[in-house]
Amino acid sequence: MRQGEVRFYIVKDFLTGEWLFNLSKDAENGKIMLKAIKCPAGLRFSQLEGKTMVFQDSQIEGMYYDVLSLTESDDSNRLRRNVVASLDEVPDVIKNNYTVRSYEDATGKKAPGKYLVTLNKPEDEKSLVTLFVLERAWGLSDTTPEKKLEEKEQMPKKQKAPKKEVDTGQDWSCPICGKAHRLVHVETDKKVKHVLKSK
């Protein structure tokens, strides 16, 4: 039985929703396995449940690679993965935040159907998890990141509950240092608390 380390990550993505991943490292074989355990609701996203992304040790020191592919949906909501063949096909959010190189640069060899990869530091697990969402899920969303951000900005902001402070007129002195404090009664529409303020 092979032993390794497994971590779990909860991701709250503003565009697609909440995810649960597990990430396991196989240092002996130079691999990191990232698996979607729980996906956001929806016919498209639910098909990603149980899907994995594999990062492998590259010939570039300290970097692991992932073969770039994007998930797309047809008119019947069936998913397919398209291997990215040119830099023009790489979404800007990936180009701007990850190092994209050719498969040959990363591995020192050519392979049919493998063209571009992302290079990642294996210790930057947050970046690996984020890449799964960007490659596999963002293309399935019914809206764009720009529109989603615009919607959030237009939502009315929550007003802070008004706070009322009442001086109780009572003082309390620290028995150790003797410093005096005034007891203040503080109330909002949700709770009541008491604080000590320095005199």
| pLDDT tens, position by position, 40-63 | 999 999 999 999 999 999 999 999
C-alpha to C-alpha distance for 40 and 142, rounded to whole angstroms: 13
pLDDT class of 1 with cuts at 50, 70, 90: very low
| Structure-derived torsion over alpha carbons of residues 152, 153, 154, 157, reported in degrees to the nearest 10 | 90
Is the confidence at residue 159, as pLDDT, over 70?
Answer: no
Instruction: Judge whether 75 and 141 are in contact, CB under 8 Å.
Output: no
What does each C-alpha distance from 199 to 21, 173, 193 come to in angstroms? 51, 10, 19
pTM comes to 0.74
Structure tokens at 178: 């003797």
The residue-averaged pLDDT of 117-123 equals 96
- Please state the φ and ψ torsions of residue 76, each to the nearest 5 degrees: -95, 10
Q: What is the pLDDT of residues 3-20, one digit of tens each?
A: 667 899 999 999 999 999
Residue 108 has a pLDDT of 95
Count, residues in the chain: 199
Q: How far apart are CA 53 and CA 34, in angstroms?
A: 5
